[in-house]
Chain A
Amino acid sequence: MEDLKKILIEHPFFKGLNEEYTSLIVGCASNIRADAGKMILREGEEANHFYLIRSGKVTLQLITPNKGPVIIETLDEGDILGWSWLVPPYTWHFDAKAVELTRMIALDGKCLRNKCENDHHLGYELLKRFADIMTKRLESTRLQLMDVYGDRP
């Protein structure tokens, strides 16, 4: 447990979070691993966790009828995977698959959700951090949409 706490404290995502909240979050954390090819989460399933990737590589992908799974983005060491646990109806919007052996810390979103409802300060701290991630993802998605390397940039 102390190891987990150390990892969490050192991660930029949790930077500046007070001792009380850090301990609380550590209480919701567990180490998990996903072997290459394993589906970590599936579109439509209940979203109850988010993951801090410690090593490995994960693809966010979407099934298309004629092309098979299209990769939207890849996430690597240090990235946070999953925010659907925070927003109703708490279901995943994409598939996430481990490309290689991936080690992660899973955080129980269901438990955190309830705690956030009771403690809005904690809620705000977490929301700020997710807003930052969402902003970055949105920005890079916008850039991808521009298709700058395409025929008609």
Chain B
Amino acid sequence: MATAPDLQSLKVDYKRNPMLPWPFQIRRVKRETEDTFTVELEPQGDLEEFPFLPGQFNMVYVFGVGEIPISISGDPANTRILIHTTRAVGTVTKAMDKMRRGDILGIRGPFGTPWPINQAGGKDVVFVAGGIGLAPLRPALYEVVTHREKYGKVVLLYGTRTPNDVLFRQELEHWRARFDLEIYVTVDRAMSGWRGNVGVVTNLISRAPFDPRNTMAFVCGPEVMMRFTSMELHKRGVDNEHIFVSMERNMKCAIGLCGHCQFGSFFVCKDGPVFRYSQIKDMLVKWEI
């Protein structure tokens, strides 16, 4: 039949078959908080480098257990090491939590749309992270820190549950010590020893030092948090076109074929996970889309 491929085109490039996980070895496991950990992975076989863009994700496979989407949390400049940070909450992440140096994970990816950080040159950059949502933003933060001169003011507003849930603490302190990065951390609840902020992350927006008319904002966290954050950014004067959010949906294939991640007419795996807020604003307030 005319529309179908002929038999000659059938040869599948094994290495590039997007349905097959590629083995990566765990080089290091780092505990971030009570339930969150980071794995550093090295590609095996003849795969030496794993380039990706900030905001992209991989499907991470535990042999025989299952596979789930996890955002990449490492530095995009380092293509030899792949880093994922995740919370042990489901079957696969709990199995990952038991793995140690030398163990093998399967990786498919990288998939999805990136944070359009390359469009933020000359502008102020505002990152707003909620909880584990700091992990998918970290590659973009690395990029901005590495090429600091390209950007205007850089602000990170980070909200999490309690002081014990603060991710990448050392790195944040290191960055906070720089004069050219503004970092504000707030928690939902704290005991009186905590000297930082208490309150929702949206409270930080009105005071953060950036020029809303010349800002790109990258928001990642629970959906409710992203919604209220985007509204607050908009109230401050940031154009909805310049606000980007990263969506989460159930995913099985990551290549637009399994149907699970549908969000309106979008497939979050290939049309997202990073969306322009203006693209999805109306859907965020609809029930159960």
Binding site for B on A (CB under 8 A): 57, 59, 61, 67-74, 76-78, 97, 99-100, 136, 139-140, 143-144, 146-151, 153
Contact = CB atoms under 8 A, between A and B. Distances in A.
22 contacts: A68-B191, A69-B192, A70-B189, A70-B192, A71-B189, A71-B192, A72-B198, A74-B196, A76-B197, A136-B203, A140-B203, A143-B202, A144-B200, A146-B224, A148-B130, A148-B222, A149-B159, A149-B160, A149-B188, A149-B221, A151-B89, A153-B224
Given A146-B224, A148-B221, A151-B89, A74 B198 contact: yes
A76 B207 contact: yes
Interface string B194-222: 11111110110001000000000000011
B92 interface: no
Contacts of A139: 228
A136 B228 CA distance: 12
Given A148-B225, A149-B222, A71 B200 contact: no
Q: Is the interface of A mostly helix, strand, loop or mixed?
A: mixed
Contacts of B225: 143, 148
Contacts of B198: 59, 71-74
Interface string B226-262: 0010000000000000000000000000000000000
B89 A71 contact: no
A65 to B, nearest CB: 14
A121 to B, nearest CB: 28
Q: Is the interface of B mostly helix, strand, loop or mixed?
A: mixed
A47 to B, nearest CB: 21
B161 interface: yes
Interface residues of B, number: 29
Given A74-B198, A143-B202, A149 B192 contact: no
Contacts of A149: 130-132, 159-161, 165, 188, 221-222
A97 B222 CA distance: 31
Interface string B109-138: 000000000000000000000111000000
B190 A147 contact: no
Given A73-B198, A78-B207, A144-B199, A68 B192 contact: yes
Contacts of B89: 151
Given A67-B191, A143-B200, 12 more contacts: A57-B197, A68-B192, A70-B192, A71-B191, A139-B228, A140-B200, A140-B202, A143-B202, A144-B200, A147-B161, A148-B225, A149-B131
A77 B207 contact: yes
B192 A143 contact: no
